[in-house]
């Protein structure tokens, strides 16, 4: 059996990290994936956006929380999972999440450094230090 999904998109909001009662880090964020197509009848270009709910655990959760921000372009690889819950109207809903097992930042280095400097990372000169890099 195979359950694998690969996505490239942009974060729709800043990651939100929390911890389970057992102390495991969990980070959640939304990812917008755009698909461009051409209407066969009119020849008009269209863009369709699909939103994915991403969940990262432990070390990957901490890395995502530290280095990603709203608008960051990333590659996510993981597996699809479903969960059921009852919404505020009493209706049972199935939600689909992507549990990430790999993430690669795709923003140009200067953009990601700028994001980090705005977030308080780096030294007083605004340069990133080797210890600031998660890999």
pTM: 0.75
Is residue 126 in a domain?
no
What pLDDT, on a 0 to 100 scale, did the predictor assign at position 126?
A: 43
Backbone angles phi, psi at 117, to 5 degrees: -65, -35
Which CATH number fits the domain that encloses residue 60? Answer: 2.40.50.140
Is residue 83 in a domain?
yes
What pLDDT, on a 0 to 100 scale, did the predictor assign at position 125?
A: 38
Is residue 108 in a domain?
yes
The pLDDT confidence band at residue 124, using thresholds 50, 70 and 90, is: very low
What is the extent of the structural domain holding 76? 5-38+45-118
Is residue 130 in a domain?
no
Is residue 127 in a domain?
no
Range of lowest pLDDT (57-61, 93-97, 123-127, 128-132): 123-127
> What are residue 8's DSSP bridge partners?
75
Q: Please answer whether residues 67 and 74 qualify as being in contact, where contact means their C-beta atoms are separated by less than 8 angstroms.
A: no
82: Cβ contacts below 8 Å, ≥ 6 apart = 94, 95, 96, 97
The total of structural domains in the chain comes to 1
Is residue 79 in a domain?
yes
Is residue 124 in a domain?
no
């Amino acid at each position: 059996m195979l359950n694998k999904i690969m996505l490239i998109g942009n974060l729709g909001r800043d990651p939100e990290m929390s911890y389970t009662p057992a102390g495991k880090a969990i980070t959640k964020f939304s990812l917008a994936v755009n698909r461009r197509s051409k209407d066969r009848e009119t020849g008009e270009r269209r863009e369709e956006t699909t939103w994915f709910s991403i969940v990262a655990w432990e070390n990957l959760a901490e890395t995502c929380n530290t280095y990603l921000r709203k608008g960051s372009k990333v590659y996510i690889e993981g597996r699809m999972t479903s969960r059921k819950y009852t919404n505020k109207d009493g209706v049972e809903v199935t939600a689909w999440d992507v549990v990430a097992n790999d993430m690669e930042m795709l923003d140009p280095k200067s953009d990601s450094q700028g994001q980090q400097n705005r977030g308080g990372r780096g030294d007083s000169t605004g340069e990133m230090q080797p210890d600031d890099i998660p890999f």
